[in-house]
Amino acid sequence: MPLEAPLEPVSVRVDDLNRRYRHHGATAVLEHALADPQVGRTALVSSFGAESVVLLHLISIMDRTTPVLFIDTEMLFTETLVYQQELSERLGLTDVHIITPARDQVFLHDNEGLLHLHDPDACCHLRKTVPLQNALEGFDAWITGRKRYQAGARASIDFFEVENEARIKINPLAHWTPEDLRDYIDENRLPRHPLVAKGYPSIGCAPCTSPVRTGEDPRAGRWRDQDKEECGIHFVNGKVVRSKTVVG
């Protein structure tokens, strides 16, 4: 429902939210985020990947009518597509939006599906970043599954972040560890993504995701041997990771 009073600037609200909820746990942060008028209309963005079931389960308990945005890049593993359908039904999620890239833009910029081979940033921008930004129009905030233990640009994330003064990004699991995730999944008997058992602790598009060897960082299989850590839907130091190729 639209809010009756205009919201304060995003940066002001984020500072206030982090101050008020700094010492709360993940569940409390998520509950407050869904109800706090300073957050506004909120969607959960989920990849239905290796750890996604935790937030999806929490949302199904708190408010299963919460909009869930799933980006189908049209290059995902078949296992991910099947998992998305089965998990949505099992958890009773009632407002799942499957977002795909614009057909005309794919035809213009990646008609043969090979863009990822020579410009993975442009491929992510075309198939994931732009579709998500379009899908988020009308929302004041979105929930992510990012965690500090994933290191890199994620090592110091707060519960609430500014997204280019456009909206709030909410990271309820920011302080969770891999053990916390495993314990939650086991205790609630939740189904894991089928590729986890095959050595994929982090799962993206099929052409750009490989199994992870023992002792490697969990995200080592994402864009292996490339100077790339994020797909581009997340901001680093307040700035979006832009592609070198303009895809509009």
**CB-based contacts of 22, cutoff 8 Å, min separation 6:** 159
Give dist(CA 112, CA 7) in Å, integer. 44
Whose tokens are 């002001």? That residue is 12
φ and ψ at 68, to 5 degrees? -120, 125
Provide the annotated active-site residues: 231
Give dist(CA 44, CA 35) in Å, integer. 14
The type of residue at 189 is: R
Give dist(CA 72, CA 101) in Å, integer. 8
| Residue burial 40-68, b: 16+ Cβ < 10 Å; e: rest | bebbbbbbbbbbbbbbbbbbbeebeebbb
What is the DSSP track for 45-89?
Answer: E----SSTHHHHHHHHHH-TTS-EEEE--S-B-HHHHHHHHHHHH
